[in-house]
Chain A
Amino acid sequence: MLKHGWMVLIYSFDRLILEPLGYPLLERSIEAAMLVGIVSGVLGTFIVVRGMAFFGDALAHAILPGVAFIYQRSNGKTDDLFWGGLAAGIASALGIGFLTRHERIKEDTAIGVVFATMFALGIAMISRIDNYAGDLSHILFGQILGVSEADLRLILIFSVIVLAVVALFFKEFMIISFDPTLAQTLRLPTELFRMLLLVLIAVTIVVSLQTVGIALMVALLVTPAATANLMTRRLLPMMLVSALIGVSSSIFGFYISYHEDIATGPAIVLSATAIFVFVFAEQQIIHTLAQVSQVWRSTRSTRAAPSTEKS
């Protein structure tokens, strides 16, 4: 009987977990998704603590014209989309960064203007392609199964670069995020680091493009980090937890997508949200229980004093 139980377990592990990995295409996809989970979890930490969710969303959309341009040129070949996205992303990040350098234009206003313009431009370019709806949906919502060997290599290289830069300048990024005045007092090149951070975010978005697509990108950047923010109280632990949640979401999402035949991008995002809801609810429950027990204890102690003759 026990032996039978083990057999079932091994069989279902084989079927649920290992089977999809038998296909090279799917194996590449999950590797890409895991890298994306790590790097977007790490960069998402800065987005959350700096309140840049709107910037992240906008930047993801602003990549579209670059992607569309390459797409038009290459007649549907996807190999160079990465570079088009990278160019458009970095250009937009620097553009927004430049516009918001002074207080003359409010940051969210500048972002709104650049974001809408770039996105409109991208849609306009794609709409000239015949049968554009299908292509557009791949770009908007991701198509992780389209990850080629070359794509995976690029994702790996750029993920490592982004993570390395964050590790090297962690201290400086923390200072410019927490207290830019200190950074300027210490004569650190504040603007340079701010721009560098924007570029890193742009690269992260381009790296994640194939996994979740433009429209859902912001969830990948924000949700794991927001969850980690609930669980930790220092920046480095928050970053590590965020990366862990990012990877977990990618893995869960991938398997849900495979077994339930759901698009991978949404499945990953929904997994991340599920983790967020779970952590949030758990903390609410603990918080409420603590309050209840405190109220209960205090009412008991105040009652205990005058009512000694009763009990």
Chain B
Amino acid sequence: MVNLSIRALTRQQANTTNDCADPTRVMAVENLSAGYNSHRALHAVSFDLHAGERVGIVGPNGAGKSTLFKAIVGLLPHQGSISIQGATCYQSHTMVGYVPQHESIDWNFPVNVWDVVMMGRARQIGYILPPRQRDRIAVRRALERVGMWNLRKRQIGELSGGQRRRVFVGRALAQQASVLMLDEPFSGVDAGAEEDIFQVLDVLRAEGVAVLLATHNLVQAATHYDKLMFLNDGHMLAYGAPADVYTPELLGATFGDRIALWREGDQYVVVPDKPCHDHDHEHGHS
């Protein structure tokens, strides 16, 4: 019941920062479907997201995790409604931060950490104008909170994978997004860096930023998130607290019979029936 107290805390915070009808709800998604032409990658997904909540989205590759993110951000054509900060307080542009899986970024690009985080301020700065004092303060604060202030002058390509992720999370912080979406932030990141990212996520939670995070790691998902969403084949199979959704039926429906999971006291144990089940999905379409 740790959840409850955090929820209460964030509710207080949210109350002071906005005056929506339901102050804790930062995003409401209803009947969201998305995909290209004939190929639907997402079918009628609905859920609510509250301030400070951390939601893990699990499912095999190709389940529609990235599609969900892209639809919410507006990168994909979609049907259904997405309202951010309640319908009454919809301020699109900067409300959603998105940290995709960075295959497409050119890491040799001549920008340093400071520049990348400042990009998140583009909307607040506005066209033509240069950054103002408040933008520099926001960038500095964001960099300090993700622990990258000392490395602000490094070129982005000189950083490790985990550090790069933190910079991009910092950019979303500078953007002052109320919802942050992270697509597989732990892929290709070592255990230490993973811990660092979770520390940053704790900071986000304390600030009332809701986090949607796509992950493969079922063991971690059981313990590190307030809620879990199970996706398979574009359908949302479950959405709720880990204790409620970790049932053999739901897991079986999401991952097939490739996986077994049980609980030993506080610990969850996941056993893939086939070796390297992650690998099986690695080349699936997403």
Binding site for B on A (CB under 8 A): 49, 51, 168-169, 171-172, 174-175, 177-182, 184-188, 229, 232-235, 238
Chain B residues whose C-beta falls within 8 Å of the C-beta of A232 in the assembled complex: 110
A49 lies within 8 A of B109 (CB): yes
* B93 interface hit (Cβ, 8 Å): yes
* B230 interface hit (Cβ, 8 Å): no
A185 lies within 8 A of B73 (CB): yes
Chain B contact residues: helix, strand, loop or mixed: loop
Known: A168-B128, A172-B127, A181-B98. A187 touches B93 (CB 8 A): yes
B123 lies within 8 A of A49 (CB): no
Known: A181-B75, A185-B96, A186-B94. A235 touches B111 (CB 8 A): yes
Interface residue ranges of B140-175 to A (CB < 8 Å): 155, 171, 175
Chain A residues whose C-beta falls within 8 Å of the C-beta of B105 in the assembled complex: 178-179
Listed from nearest, the 9 A-B pairs whose CB atoms lie closest are: A233-B155, A185-B98, A185-B73, A187-B93, A168-B128, A178-B109, A238-B110, A175-B119, A235-B110
Chain A residues whose C-beta falls within 8 Å of the C-beta of B73 in the assembled complex: 181, 184-185
CA A188 – CA B126 in complex, angstroms? 10
Binding site for A on B (CB under 8 A): 73-75, 92-94, 96-98, 100, 104-106, 109-112, 115-116, 119-120, 122-123, 125, 127-128, 155, 171, 175
Chain B residues whose C-beta falls within 8 Å of the C-beta of A185 in the assembled complex: 73-75, 96-98
Smallest beta-carbon distance A255→chain B, Å:
31
B112 lies within 8 A of A234 (CB): yes
Starting from the known contacts A178-B111, A187-B74, 15 additional A-B residue pairs (CB-CB under 8 Å) come to A51-B106, A169-B127, A169-B128, A171-B125, A172-B122, A174-B115, A174-B119, A179-B119, A181-B104, A186-B122, A187-B93, A188-B122, A234-B115, A235-B115, A238-B110
Smallest beta-carbon distance B86→chain A, Å:
19
CA A234 – CA B96 in complex, angstroms? 27
Can you give 12 A-B contacts (C-beta < 8 A)? A168-B128, A171-B122, A172-B122, A174-B115, A178-B105, A178-B116, A181-B98, A186-B122, A234-B115, A234-B155, A235-B111, A235-B115
CA A51 – CA B100 in complex, angstroms? 22
Chain A residues whose C-beta falls within 8 Å of the C-beta of B98 in the assembled complex: 181-182, 185
Instruction: Name A175's closest neighbour in chain B (CB-CB).
Output: B119
Q: Which of A175, A186, A233 contacts B110 (CB 8 A)?
A: A233
Chain A residues whose C-beta falls within 8 Å of the C-beta of B155 in the assembled complex: 233-234
CA A234 – CA B110 in complex, angstroms? 4
Chain B residues whose C-beta falls within 8 Å of the C-beta of A180 in the assembled complex: 104
B123 lies within 8 A of A186 (CB): yes
Q: Which of B92, B119, B123, B175 is packed against the most chain A CB atoms within 10 Å?
A: B119
B106 lies within 8 A of A178 (CB): yes
Chain A residues whose C-beta falls within 8 Å of the C-beta of B175 in the assembled complex: 186
CA A203 – CA B94 in complex, angstroms? 34
Chain B residues whose C-beta falls within 8 Å of the C-beta of A186 in the assembled complex: 93-94, 122-123, 175
Chain A residues whose C-beta falls within 8 Å of the C-beta of B123 in the assembled complex: 186-188
Q: Which of B92, B96, B97, B110 contacts A229 (CB 8 A)?
A: B110
Instruction: Name A180's closest neighbour in chain B (CB-CB).
Output: B104
CA A54 – CA B98 in complex, angstroms? 31
Instruction: Name A49's closest neighbour in chain B (CB-CB).
Output: B109
CA A185 – CA B111 in complex, angstroms? 20
Smallest beta-carbon distance B212→chain A, Å:
14
CA A265 – CA B61 in complex, angstroms? 54
Smallest beta-carbon distance B135→chain A, Å:
11
Instruction: Name A182's closest neighbour in chain B (CB-CB).
Output: B119
Chain B residues whose C-beta falls within 8 Å of the C-beta of A172 in the assembled complex: 122, 127
CA A184 – CA B73 in complex, angstroms? 8
Smallest beta-carbon distance A51→chain B, Å:
8
A49 lies within 8 A of B125 (CB): no
Smallest beta-carbon distance A49→chain B, Å:
6
CA A174 – CA B105 in complex, angstroms? 13
CA A172 – CA B98 in complex, angstroms? 18
A49 lies within 8 A of B94 (CB): no
Smallest beta-carbon distance B74→chain A, Å:
7
Smallest beta-carbon distance A101→chain B, Å:
14
CA A175 – CA B75 in complex, angstroms? 16
CA A270 – CA B75 in complex, angstroms? 44
Smallest beta-carbon distance A89→chain B, Å:
25
Instruction: Name A51's closest neighbour in chain B (CB-CB).
Output: B106
Instruction: Name A183's closest neighbour in chain B (CB-CB).
Output: B122
Q: Which of B73, B105, B109, B128 is packed against the most chain A CB atoms within 10 Å?
A: B109
Chain B residues whose C-beta falls within 8 Å of the C-beta of A168 in the assembled complex: 127-128
A175 lies within 8 A of B127 (CB): no
CA A238 – CA B18 in complex, angstroms? 42
Smallest beta-carbon distance B130→chain A, Å:
8
Instruction: Name B112's closest neighbour in chain A (CB-CB).
Output: A234
B106 lies within 8 A of A49 (CB): yes
Q: Which of B94, B97, B100, B111 contacts A234 (CB 8 A)?
A: B111
Instruction: Name A232's closest neighbour in chain B (CB-CB).
Output: B110
Known: A184-B73, A185-B73, A185-B97. A174 touches B128 (CB 8 A): no
Chain B residues whose C-beta falls within 8 Å of the C-beta of A233 in the assembled complex: 110, 112, 155
Chain A residues whose C-beta falls within 8 Å of the C-beta of B125 in the assembled complex: 171
Chain A residues whose C-beta falls within 8 Å of the C-beta of B97 in the assembled complex: 185
CA A51 – CA B111 in complex, angstroms? 16
Q: Which of B97, B112, B122 is packed against the most chain A CB atoms within 10 Å?
A: B122
A187 lies within 8 A of B92 (CB): yes
